[in-house]
Amino acid sequence: MKQIPEEYKSAYTSISSLGEFRLIDHLTKNIPAKRSETIKAIGDDAAVVDLGNGDVEVISTDLLVENVHFDLSYVPLRHLGYKSVVVNISDIVAMNAEPIGITISLAVSSRFSVEALDELYAGIQLACEKYNVDLLGGDTSSINQGMVISVSAIGKGKKDEIVYRNNAKAKDLICVTGDLGAAYAGFLVLDREKAVFLKTPDIQPDLSDYDYAISRQLKPEARLDVIREMKANGVKPNSMIDISDGLASELYHICTQSKKGCNIYANKLPIDWQVGKVAEEFEIGINTFALNGGEDYELLFTVPIEDFQKVKDMKDVHIIGNISEDEHVLQVLLDSGQSVELEAQGWSHFSRP
């Protein structure tokens, strides 16, 4: 019987010293998958389980923690519910699979009312309807402080149509959907206005100049439309991932797992004009938004060069570079002719102050 065991305390190896990705690697390295059904366990957007007859199931899970992943002073609960579902569906889509169901577990403090949770579930309902997924189950619990949402999603697909991160080929075209960096721009604006509000609560900000960026932060969508269109066009990517932690981080995953390098053309990065406006206001380089922004939930994928014409004609798909043989060279080519090395910052929840 003891209070909290000494060796559990962070005076030993702190979690932040590892960072999220290395922490997961470290914790799970002794638990390799052993069952014959398991095609992919940890290490991609979702796990893949063989169902026989050429069918597979994909499973993904995400955790959203108040004041780490969301700030209720500017995120309406309805949007939060919607986004919680969408980010998981995005993981299923990134495997080139169709989402079919989700489970939602919720820990909430007694600070919240039933009416607050009704708002959250209204957003969950909207996302379930939009993406035609069923709410299959869940769990609720009280918690001392704050709110934690855990979502798992399952999807189905054909074994030979699933797309992994680790199969990019040299000369593949690198494509992204939609545009990049706007979700982060929206976050910066909302966070700035929150600070203003805390000082001068009487002034309501006019955010109409940032409406697109804010909507990208508050109400992202999963690109189920794109994987369906690719299928209809006979395009199967060699590799794919969704952009949750920023383009640079996702390129890093694809390249290291595929043992390849990449060339990205800065002037090909699709960026909305509102991101340019926010970049100026915050005096941050615009490429930083596109490369390190995160939370866009667009798709990053690579296709054989033979598919050039097919992807070029797809609305909302942009070719931004190509895969190279040398796995040690992940670079961005600037207009000036200079090249800079990609830095995969991603999000590190554990090392934030």
Footprint (CB under 8 A) of a copy of itself, residues 194-233: 194, 196-197, 204-205
Beta strands 261-265 and 330-333 are parallel
Binder to a copy of itself among 89, 124, 174, 269 (CB under 8 A)? Answer: 124
The residue count for binding a copy of itself (CB under 8 A) is: 105
Binder to a copy of itself among 89, 94, 97, 133 (CB under 8 A)? Answer: 133
Note whether 287 and 199 are within 8 A (CB). no
Binder to a copy of itself among 86, 108, 224, 323 (CB under 8 A)? Answer: 108
CB of 299 to a copy of itself, least distance (A): 19
CB of 266 to a copy of itself, least distance (A): 31
Mark the segment that binds a copy of itself (CB under 8 A) among 101-109, 234-242, 249-257, 264-272.
Answer: 101-109
Mark the segment that binds a copy of itself (CB under 8 A) among 174-182, 190-198, 315-323, 333-341.
Answer: 190-198
> What is the chain's alpha carbon radius of gyration, rounded to the nearest angstrom?
21
CB of 212 to a copy of itself, least distance (A): 18
C-alpha distances (whole Å) from 183 to each of 6, 150, 179 are 41, 21, 10
C-alpha distances (whole Å) from 338 to each of 62, 251, 276, 327, 346 are 38, 19, 21, 20, 23
**DSSP character for 314?**
S
Binding marks (x or -) toward a copy of itself, 147..186, rule CB under 8 A? -x-x-x-x--------------------------------
Binder to a copy of itself among 2, 199, 315, 328 (CB under 8 A)? Answer: 2
d(CA 268, CA 38): 38
Nearest CA-CA partner of 216 in 120, 79, 77, 81: 79
Residue 165, classed as helix, strand or coil, is: coil
CB of 35 to a copy of itself, least distance (A): 5
Binder to a copy of itself among 121, 130, 171, 286 (CB under 8 A)? Answer: 121
Binding positions for a copy of itself, 42-61, rule CB under 8 A: 42, 46-47, 49, 51-53, 55, 57, 59-61
CB of 193 to a copy of itself, least distance (A): 5
| HEC profile of 180-208 | CCHHHHHHHHHHHHHHHHHHCCCCCCCCH
Tokens at residue 217, please?
Answer: 């932060």
Based on CB atoms, which residue is closest to a copy of itself, 63 or 340? 63
Give Cβ neighbours of residue 29 (< 8 Å, ≥ 6 apart): none
- Contact between 75 and a copy of itself by CB under 8 A: the answer reads no
CB of 314 to a copy of itself, least distance (A): 28
Tokens at residue 231, please?
Answer: 């299928």
